[in-house]
Amino acid sequence: MIVVMEPGASRAAVEAVEARIRAAGHGVHVSRGAERTIVGAIGDERRLEPERFEAMPGVERAMHVVKPYRLVSRECRAGRTVVRIGGAAIGGDEVQVIAGPCSVETDAQMASAAEAVARGGARLMRGGAFKPRTSPYAFQGHGVEGLRMLKRAASVRGLPVVTEIMDARMLDAFLAEGVDAVQIGTRNMQNFELLKAVGRVDVPVVLKRGMSATIAEWLMAAEYVAAGGNHRIVLCERGIRTFETAYRNVLDVTAIPFVQRESHLPVIVDPSHAGGKAWMVGALACAAVAGGADGLLVEVHPRPAEAWCDADQALAPDEFGALTTRLAAVAAATGRRLAAAPDPALASIARELEPALS
């Protein structure tokens, strides 16, 4: 913390400030300028309250030293950042939905998935070609060929794509294949070389929160990207690990308003990886939109039971359509709008599925 004394503050006033800092167990550094004196507290400053110093005679201002994250913080930019992915804006008035399968499997699967995504009203498509799997024996993704399959299917429906990158060395290939936004997954949130690499290029980054990361660590990860010059960052809360084992992760809804206050970057929510079960996705997605999320990232598969990855949590096309219909109502109830309306034919399906989804 630093305490800025008023010009002409008396020696006694400066000494009183020094004494209070020492009494709290901190070292003191005094800098006497021509005009005014600045007193710095050395050590863990969190126990010092600036307000208590500001009430002292001769003190003009007292403040904590800047937050460890700077570029992504509200201190740096008071307004909200809008990140455009293709033609879709995230962080503006509308709630965006990004949807698609966990992994890219076949051209036929991707074509049906793209149809479901577009009919459900999503404006962006997801699909993993490089998969971070817990087991080395599980399907690892189709790699660059998977990126091509994703782009082919999505472009038929005019959808920009978001897909996970795991290795900085693959970045050129992602850009060459026309990937519209790169996703950094929960397991790579602190892969600093990857963060630096995406920070050097001009491509939107969806930065998932590490499953055991604090908000400060998450924002510091975003700071790495911003520090390289790339400010097109979308933060994605996807559930964290806690003592609870009943479901895959705990969706930290509290993080939405907190991070939006702390940072100017848009915050979206992935309800699929949070709950880990399709039947939970609706409730968590509604909670996220009601809580002010700027968008959602939802796993949708033409035939969830046959999905090669994360089968339990994928929504079927009709379930997805029902969900976006419901989300449009939640958005409206909180004074916002879903970016794109689902196909009207899906509204009747939504009514039929309503009991099953709630």
**Quick one: 53 or 130, whose CB is closer to ligand PEP?**
130
Task: Find the part of the chain contacting ligand PEP (CB under 6 A) among 74-82, 141-149, 155-163, 181-189.
Answer: 181-189
Task: Find the part of the chain contacting ligand PEP (CB under 6 A) among 28-36, 141-149, 183-191, 254-262.
Answer: 183-191
142 part of the interface to ligand PEP, by CB under 6 A = no
- Of 26, 119, 123, 208, the one binding ligand PEP (CB under 6 A) is 208
Distance CA 47, CA 248 (A): 36
**Quick one: 186 or 263, whose CB is closer to ligand PEP?**
186
Minimum CB separation of residue 73 from ligand PEP in Å reads 24
Degrees (nearest 5) of the Cα angle 183, 189, 193?
90
102 part of the interface to Mn ion, by CB under 5 A = yes
Task: Find the part of the chain contacting ligand PEP (CB under 6 A) among 55-63, 184-192, 312-320, 350-358.
Answer: 184-192
Q: What are the residues whose beta carbons fall under 8 Å from the beta carbon of 272, sequence distance 6 or more?
A: 102, 281, 297, 298, 299, 310, 313, 314, 315
User: Of 118, 173, 123, 184, nearest to 147 (Cα)?
Assistant: 173
Minimum CB separation of residue 62 from Mn ion in Å reads 47
Local structure of 260: helix, strand or coil: helix
**Residue 262 contact, options ligand PEP, Mn ion, none, Cβ 5-8 Å cut-off depending on partner type:** none
Minimum CB separation of residue 229 from Mn ion in Å reads 30
**Residue 186 contact, options Mn ion, ligand PEP, none, Cβ 5-8 Å cut-off depending on partner type:** ligand PEP
Residue 9 amino acid letter: A
- Of 92, 121, 128, 141, the one binding ligand PEP (CB under 6 A) is 128
302 touches 317 (CB < 8 A)? yes
**Residue 178 contact, options ligand PEP, Mn ion, none, Cβ 5-8 Å cut-off depending on partner type:** none
325 part of the interface to ligand PEP, by CB under 6 A = no
Token pair for residue 216? 């400060």
- Of 186, 191, 230, 260, the one binding ligand PEP (CB under 6 A) is 186
Residue listed under structure tokens 């400053």: 45
186 touches 214 (CB < 8 A)? no
Distance CA 209, CA 187 (A): 9
Please, which of residues 249-288 interact with ligand PEP by CB under 6 A? 270, 273
146 part of the interface to ligand PEP, by CB under 6 A = no
Q: What are the residues whose beta carbons fall under 8 Å from the beta carbon of 117, sequence distance 6 or more?
A: 99, 100, 125, 154, 157, 159, 300, 320
Q: What mask of x and - would describe binding to ligand PEP in positions 66 to 105, judged by CB under 6 A?
A: ------------------------------------x---
Q: What mask of x and - would describe binding to Mn ion in positions 287 to 316, judged by CB under 5 A?
A: -----------------------x------
Q: What are phi and psi of 210, to 5 degrees?
A: -55, 145
Residue 155 amino acid letter: S
* 88-90 and 94-100 beta bridge pairing: unpaired
DSSP-assigned letters across all residues of 114-178: HHHHHHTT-SEEE-BSS---SSTTS----THHHHHHHHHHHHHTT--EEEE---GGGHHHHHHTT
Under the rule (CB under 6 A), what is the footprint of ligand PEP? Answer: 102, 128, 132, 185-187, 208, 238, 270, 273
Binding positions for Mn ion, rule: CB under 5 A: 102, 310
